[in-house]
Structure formats: C-alpha cells, structure tokens
Amino acid sequence: MLEKTDSEPSQPHSLQASCFCGAISYRVEGGPVFSLYCHCTICQRIHASPFVHVIHYHTGSFNWIHTDPNALFTKSELDSEWKEWRCLSCLGAIASENPTEGRWSLRGAHFHRDAEGMIENWHLIEPTGHMFYNTRMLDVNDGLPKWEGYAGGSRRLDIDDKN
C-alpha cells in the first residue's frame, strides 16, 4: 500500500477571477496564449483607462464558475468579432469572446488577490510586453517590448524607432 505524501502531484495551473461586485467569476486552466498591456483605442474606451492588462486564453481553458445563469449580459452583435460580456450587477466589462479564433480575452485586474491586494500567482500571468503602443496615452519605460499591433506580428516600436 502506497503511503500518502505531503505534496500533491503537480496540478495544471488553475486561476480564478471575478468582476468588481463578485457576481461573475471564471476559472482558467494552464498557461495563457499571451499576457500583454494593451494600448488599443477599444480597450481605452471600454475601460476608460490609458491601457489595460489583457490576457488571452484558448476557449478550452476557460469556464464560467458563477452559479446565476442570468448574471451575464452582452449587447454585442452575434456576428461581431469580439463578443463583450458584462456583469448585470456591477456592469463591469468582465471578458470578451472570439468564437472564430477560439479565444477569450480577459483582464488581469480581475484575477484573485491575496490579503495585501496583490494578484496571486502573478508570475503565471505577468505581462511580457505592450501591444498597440502606437495609440498610447502615455509612455511606459519598463524595458518590455513595445509592439505597434499584436506582439510578434507587428513592428517593434522600441527598437525600430531608434534609427
């Protein structure tokens, strides 16, 4: 008979997040497709913020975990590229869904925090750069790569501009 050990076998990473009021929550499994600060004008206007910490996960990694099926609403058209979901209670934009690409776009600020207010397991979702930096409302001098559009698929502004 096998002895029980103190350490569990290593589990795939599972992270949870909630909207401002807590009525909406979700869980993601495994690593993100990417985690970046987004300076696009859509994020700026939806969140009324100079930039937003955006995390993409594959559809298979994402699950809603709140219990009220009527807690979510969207006004996005069915054929829109990104379907923006909001909480019916706090009206916060909690996540957007791209069924064509099989992606969920999430916001780092919604992920669960410890007693000091810091996001738990930050190293798993820490941003690796800045995208859509061309439409930035402020410069960020953090040493991370700055992309004109999506990371890897557009011009590096922090390199190409220094010629």
Stretch of residues binding Zn ion (CB under 5 A), selected from 22-30, 72-80, 138-146, 154-162 = 22-30
Which of these segments, 30-38, 60-68, 107-115, 118-126, binds Zn ion (CB under 5 A)?
30-38
Please report whether residue 17 would count as binding Zn ion according to CB under 5 A: no
Exactly one of 15, 17, 55, 87 binds Zn ion (CB under 5 A); which one? 87
Provide the strand spans (E) within the chain: 14-18, 25-29, 34-38, 52-58, 62-64, 72-73, 83-87, 93-98, 103-107, 130-131
- Smallest distance, Å, CB 153 to Zn ion? 14
Contact flag: residue 43 with Zn ion (CB under 5 A): yes
Report the C-alpha gap between 101 and 108 in whole angstroms: 20
Q: 112, 118 in Cβ contact below 8 A?
A: no
**Is 50 in contact with 38 (CB distance < 8 Å)?**
no
**55: contact with Zn ion by CB under 5 A:** no
Contacts with Zn ion, residue ranges (CB under 5 A): 19, 21, 23, 38, 40, 43, 87, 89-90
